[in-house]
Amino acid sequence: MQVKLHSHTPDPEAFMAYVARVSNPANQSNPDHARLLSYCIRRRHWSVFEHASMTVEILTTLDIATQILRHRSFCFQQLSRRYAGEEQSPVQWVMPQLRAPHPKDRQASLDTLPHDVVEHWQGKIQDHLQAAHDLYRQLLAAGVAKECARAVLPQATTTTLYMSGNCRSWIHYIALRSQPGTQAEHRSVALEVQGIFAQVFPVCAGALDALDWAT
């Protein structure tokens, strides 16, 4: 899993403060935006945060991409395996971490499986992933279209997404997906996004840290 910053609104926090001061034109270019943005976050004055945006590139697996794509307020572009074959983008996968189900929480799992159990089943998974990949290549070699052959690729196959959204959406995405209720693999994506968010929106990140991201 890997998250990279692609681009963002120039001087994003200064711009959000500028639009927030629409009712006070004489003070609109006031460079002190930290107090104003922190105040807006504390008061849940969220519309202010819709005026600056950020785009990230995410490399993840198909199962986690499905969860990320549910965040409908974002704009997405995803690698298409109807179009891209091995020459354009090699088919790769990530070995799943194997965890035990949480005894009470059906949305959680625990890293408590014995080492030998993990090793045994990861060996089986490796064979399965290799066999699926071999079958995919054989289908393409036999003249089957990419859009049909891709159906045999497992959920552990990697994919690339561009995810663009405004600061408000990023705040709520990070607040939700960095919590223990989110699957560990998706949480690690959200935590990487949080680090990038803190570089692009440092005042907002500081104000949200003070609230423990309770939005």
Ligand X SMILES: Cc1cc2nc3c(=O)[nH]c(=O)nc-3n(C[C@H](O)[C@H](O)[C@H](O)COP(=O)(O)OP(=O)(O)OC[C@H]3O[C@@H](n4cnc5c(N)ncnc54)[C@H](O)[C@@H]3O)c2cc1C
- Known catalytic residues? 177
Q: Residues 101, 180, 181, 195: which binds ligand X (CB under 6 A)? A: 181
Q: Does 169 bind ligand X (CB under 6 A)?
A: yes
**Of 11-19, 53-61, 136-144, 168-176: span binding ligand X (CB under 6 A):** 168-176
How far is Cα 213 from Cα 193, in angstroms, rounded to an integer?
14
CA distance 178 to 174: 6
- Name the H helices within 86-114: none
Shortest separation between residue 54's beta carbon and ligand X, angstroms: 13
Rounded to a whole number of angstroms, the minimum distance from the CB of residue 76 to ligand X is: 11
> According to CB under 6 A, which residues from 69 to 108 bind ligand X?
70-74, 107
Tokens 């690339």 locate to 160
Instruction: Indicate the burial class of 84 (C-beta count within 10 angstroms; 0-12, 13-18, 19 or more).
Output: middle
CA distance 176 to 197: 14
Q: Which of 172, 185, 187, 192 binds ligand X (CB under 6 A)?
A: 172
Burial class (CB within 10 angstroms; exposed 0-12, middle 13-18, buried 19+) of 37 = buried
Q: Please, which residue, 67 or 160, has the CB nearer to ligand X?
A: 67
d(C-alpha 84, C-alpha 142), whole Å: 17
| Subset of residues 120 to 159 that bind ligand X, contact rule: CB under 6 A | none
Q: Interface with ligand X by CB under 6 A: which range of 19-27, 31-39, 172-180, 188-196?
A: 172-180
- Only one of the segments 3-11, 156-164, 167-175, 197-205 lies at the binding site for ligand X (rule: CB under 6 A); that segment is 167-175
Binding site for ligand X (CB under 6 A): 46, 70-74, 107, 168-169, 172-173, 176, 181-182, 215
